[in-house]
């Protein structure tokens, strides 16, 4: 079989679901169960206000810290503020900035392929939302992916003691407001931050609109953008990952960017990366990796097995195709080159593939390249099947 047509899963997803780090799963569940202790501690107005403040404060730590700074380096800051951002981010109890950045960079390399760490398309919604975190293979971190961060001893220290910022914050909430402060102020807001963040990995790859062809399922979702301080403009982000700004239109709210912009005026951060005008106008040429992934999505809408079967039947039963059948058999793994120079009724034409692609994707300058790549993939897949058939 030609490599042009990928299997539905490029790795054993069943193994991912079974190989769970149970101690961490238990602690995660206990954090959720701790929220019910509010029945005993009570819910005070002071604790609710504290929880709301901590939600937005730590959400900023995730969006401006974990994501836009440590994962994508979309702006520059001092070593002191870098450490503050890391502590603020890790106070959300979402592991170390090294782990978070490494996993996120891996996600962008393989977004919505079988190698993605959290893809609803391949592992299901729930696993993409939260289950992947507890798979044993994702418990460790490949520090090579974050070599630009491991050179800082203070970040390595935080990596070693990843829960320390969260524990310190929990103690502070208890000292300030008591049990209600700990349960409502800390645990409630922690769980809310968990799932708002996780929704970007799950919902933002399922529900919303697409402005750009990105070769994956990323979507723009205004509701998620509100609760995640701008992260919901996920399709924008996948179109140009280095941008510090994720709301590409004036009406796309992006509070994280607004705060970072103010910090740049104060000299706390600098060298903010912006999307090129061509990207904002959706006139950029797509990269080869995006073209390849988009082409695979187009090919997946054609039944290659059925096409191959019909062609094989025609080759076997039509006397006038005997010479072509012999050429295909002789070519073997290069049979697609033979098919490229003949017109067969069962084989999709470039025009048919182009019509299919136009209906699938938003406007892009690279549509012709996607169609050409998809056409070649289909020829390779069909040729691989026919090439093995004896004349």
Cα distance between residue 48 and residue 276, in whole Å? 42
Same domain, 301 and 205: no
* 102 falls within a domain: yes
> Is residue 1, in this structure, part of any structural domain at all?
no
Query: Over pLDDT 90: what percentage of the chain?
Result: 70
- Residue at a domain's end among 255, 280, 305: 280
Integer Cα distance of 130 and 128 in angstroms = 6
Does the structure show a pLDDT above 90 at 215? yes
Hunting for tokens 């070649």 — which residue is that?
A: 376
pLDDT band at 253 (very low <50, low <70, confident <90, very high): very high
Q: Could you tell me if 282 and 363 are in contact, meaning their C-beta atoms sit under 8 angstroms apart?
A: yes
In this structure, the answer to whether residues 347 and 328 fall within a common structural domain is yes
Task: Evaluate if pTM is beyond 0.85.
Answer: yes
> Domain for residue 148, yes or no?
yes
Q: What total of structural domains would you count in the chain?
A: 2
| Half-sphere exposure at residue 302, Cβ-oriented, CA atoms within 13 angstroms | 27
- Give residue-wise pLDDT tens across range 42-59: 999 999 999 999 999 999
* The predicted structure's pLDDT at residue 141: 86
Assess whether pLDDT exceeds 80 at residue 336: no
Decide if 320 is inside a domain.
yes
**Structure token pair of residue 103:** 């996993």
- Check whether residue 67 and residue 204 sit in a common domain: yes
**CB 2: neighbour CB atoms within 10 A?**
19
Q: Is 7 among the domain residues?
A: no
Give yes or no: residues 317 and 274 share one domain: no
Q: What is the DSSP letter of 135?
A: B
Mean per-residue pLDDT of the chain: 88
Higher-scoring residue by pLDDT: 322, 248: 248
CA distance 151 to 127: 33
**Is the same domain home to 351 and 211?**
no
**Domain housing 33:** 13-280
Smallest CA-to-CA distance from 112 within 248, 245, 292, 364 is with: 292
The answer, yes or no, to whether residue 31 has pLDDT greater than 70, is yes
pLDDT at 286 over 50: yes
- Whether residues 253 and 297 share a domain: the answer is no
Q: What is the pLDDT of residue 10?
A: 39
Q: Residue 8: inside a domain, yes or no? A: no
- Asked whether residue 2 is assigned to any structural domain, the reply reads no
Do residues 204 and 308 both lie within one domain? no
Domain boundary residue, one of 280, 305, 336: 280
Do 292 and 276 share a structural domain? Answer: no
Last residue of a domain, one of 246, 280, 314: 280
Looking at the fold, whether 146 and 31 belong to one and the same domain comes out as yes
Sign of the Cα pseudo-torsion (329, 333, 337, 339, in order): positive
Tell whether 359 is covered by a domain.
Answer: yes
Same structural domain for residues 206 and 319?
no
Measured CA to CA, the distance from residue 362 to residue 175 in angstroms comes to 53
Q: Which of 253, 227, 288 shows the shortest CA–CA distance to 236?
A: 253
Specify whether 230 is located in the same domain as 320.
no
| Average pLDDT of span 312-324 | 65
Q: Please tell me whether residues 211 and 244 are part of one structural domain.
A: yes
The predicted-structure confidence for 87-99, as pLDDT tens digits, reads as follows 999 999 999 999 9
């Amino acid at each position: 079989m030609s490599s042009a047509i990928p299997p539905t899963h490029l790795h054993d997803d069943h193994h991912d679901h079974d190989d769970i780090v149970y101690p961490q799963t238990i602690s995660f569940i206990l954090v959720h169960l701790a929220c019910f202790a509010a029945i005993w501690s009570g819910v005070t107005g002071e604790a609710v206000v504290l929880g709301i403040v901590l939600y937005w404060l730590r959400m900023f730590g995730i969006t401006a810290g974990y994501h836009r700074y440590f994962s994508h380096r979309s702006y520059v800051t001092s070593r002191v503020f870098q450490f503050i951002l890391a502590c603020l981010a890790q106070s959300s109890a979402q592991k170390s900035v090294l782990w978070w950045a490494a996993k996120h960079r891996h996600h962008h390399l393989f977004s919505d392929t079988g190698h993605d760490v959290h893809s609803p398309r391949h592992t299901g919604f729930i696993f993409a939302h939260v289950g992947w975190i507890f798979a044993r293979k994702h418990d460790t971190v490949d520090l090579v992916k974050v070599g630009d961060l491991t050179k800082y001893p203070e970040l390595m220290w935080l990596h070693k003691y990843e829960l320390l910022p969260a524990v310190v914050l929990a103690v502070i909430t208890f000292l300030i407001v008591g049990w209600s402060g700990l349960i409502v102020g800390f645990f409630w807001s922690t769980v809310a931050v968990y799932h708002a963040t996780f929704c970007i990995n799950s919902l933002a790859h399922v529900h919303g609109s697409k402005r750009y062809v990105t070769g994956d399922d990323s979507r723009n979702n205004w509701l998620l953008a509100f609760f995640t301080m701008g992260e919901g403009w996920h399709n924008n982000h996948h179109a140009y990952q280095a941008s510090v700004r994720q709301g590409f239109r004036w009406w796309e709210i992006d509070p994280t960017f607004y705060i970072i912009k103010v910090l740049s005026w104060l000299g706390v951060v600098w060298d903010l990366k912006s999307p090129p005008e061509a990207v904002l106008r959706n006139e950029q040429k797509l990269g080869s990796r995006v073209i390849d992934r988009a082409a695979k999505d187009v090919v997946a809408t054609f039944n290659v097995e059925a096409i191959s079967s019909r062609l094989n039947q025609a080759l076997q039963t039509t006397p006038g195709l005997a010479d072509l059948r012999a050429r295909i058999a002789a070519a073997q793994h290069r049979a697609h080159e033979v098919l490229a120079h003949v017109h067969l009724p069962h084989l999709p034409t470039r025009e048919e593939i182009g019509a299919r692609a136009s209906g699938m994707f938003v406007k892009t300058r690279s549509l012709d390249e996607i169609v050409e790549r998809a056409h070649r993939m289909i020829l390779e897949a069909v040729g691989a099947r026919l090439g093995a058939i004896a004349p």
